[in-house]
Amino acid sequence: MKLLKFTLYIFLPVLLLNSCRDYVEVEPVGNNRILKYTSDYRGLANNYESMTVAGGIYLLASADAEFPTTYQNSVSTIWSNAYTWQDKIYDPSQGDSDWNGLYKAIYYSNVIIDGVMGSQGGSDAEKKEIYAEAFVHRAFAYLQLVNTYGPQFDPASDNSGKAVPLLLKPELFSKLDRSTVGQVYDQIISDLKSALDNDIQDAAPFNVLPSKRAVYALLARTYLYMGSYQLSLDNAQKALALQNGLIDFKELATAYSYPVLVQNPEVIFSKTLLTTYDGSPLSNDLLNSFDSNDLRYNYYTIAGSNFFPTYTGRGFGMTRYSYTNGINVGVSVPEMYLISAECYARLGQTQEAIDNLNIVRAKRYKSGTVYQVSAGTSKEALDLALIERQKEFIGRGFRWFDQRRLNLDPLYQKTYTRVFKGQTYNLEPNSDGYVFPINQNYIDLNPELGN
């Protein structure tokens, strides 16, 4: 009998019981154990370490990263393979932490969706709240997975390319047939709408928990990746209507004054990259794009001497200045303004695009300096919006997702070149290098993954 979900789930029931044993009552049912009380499911939903994972290997492949020559001899084979866009990332002794972590969050979400409404000891409102939250976690995980291991969504195609398995039940044994890109996106949107249909809370008590504003923000991101700009704009505006606070960098004494995660007014819904990717050297071209009055350079980056192994250059600074924030790639207020700016530009509304850019820039520049930008055409506004995304989201890996979708537009297609240990590597537009391979170990155990 094939071990159909070995790579995804065999370890998960053990982790589930170990992580919850101190505060979750479980009862044996045959050879399995189940959660019983609503508080059990709340404990599972609040498992911060497991539910907030976002992968992150794509950061190394993105144009944000640039490994100095001396640093190249210090990195692992996983990092070097990702950095040079190889068709094999892991050797037979290694697992894929991104894949495992995201599917673990999906498994937990499926457990909640499948069982919380029938749990004991909680009110209907409590059950429904947990139920709605699980759809948001699952949608986020699948959005990460499809954009890491699947082809880019193309609004001009049927999106029939194979992506990742859609697993919607907490079953330990089932076939891992890969769903198409279109099917995965349909499920993401369906899950987010299910959260709304089940009256997810407008505002969560902590930004690590899903909320209505998080659903709107995730829909805005999803529709942006799909090239559905009016829908993306509509949802970004809905999110901003519920939360629009920005940190004024001029009011921070130093970068170390940056607020902790739970007090960060910009974070709508927190998700963080694996700590494995902390410290990746940042591209010199990107670092040089900050002018001397832009405070983001000193607030978002820090000298490479703060990491191990050390390097000449700079890395993402937030994990050092305000470690609780991590490398946060959850949806945020700045992202909603910049999505709005891009969508306005693409829809021909130039001034609206510029207005949204300047709202963010006003909070990022030194006092008394010129922060405003202007544009005479929607194309100029779009160019400015894309540049602003690179600077605002430096070191988070968003650049990779932007590279993928911009490759569909001949105006923005670009070939990227890297020299690693004396050898030159090229990433052509829309090449296979934009799709991370599924670990061969997993395909060997589940051959349908290779189809």
Q: What is the pLDDT of residues 154-206, one digit of tens each?
A: 999 999 999 999 999 998 777 899 999 999 999 999 999 999 999 999 999 99
Range of the domain at 30: 6-450
Supply the pLDDT for residue 1. Answer: 28
d(Cα 400, Cα 53) in Å, to the nearest integer? 18
Supply the pLDDT for residue 128. Answer: 97
d(Cα 442, Cα 372) in Å, to the nearest integer? 50
> Going along 80-223, which residue ranges are E strands?
162-165, 178-180
Supply the pLDDT for residue 108. Answer: 95
Residue with tokens 């911060």: 48
Supply the pLDDT for residue 28. Answer: 41
Supply the pLDDT for residue 22. Answer: 33
CATH code: domain of residue 80? 1.25.40.390
Q: Which residues of the chain have pLDDT under 70?
A: 1-33
Which residues 6+ apart lie within 8 Å of 420 measured at CB?
67, 72, 80, 83, 84
In the chain, the number of structural domains is 1
Supply the pLDDT for residue 194. Answer: 98
Residue 70 lies in a domain: yes
The predicted-structure confidence for 389-444, as pLDDT tens digits, reads as follows 999 999 999 999 999 999 999 999 999 999 999 999 999 999 999 999 999 999 99
Residue 1 lies in a domain: no
Amino acid letter at 185?
Y
Residue 121 lies in a domain: yes
Which residues 6+ apart lie within 8 Å of 100 measured at CB?
7, 8
Supply the pLDDT for residue 33. Answer: 52
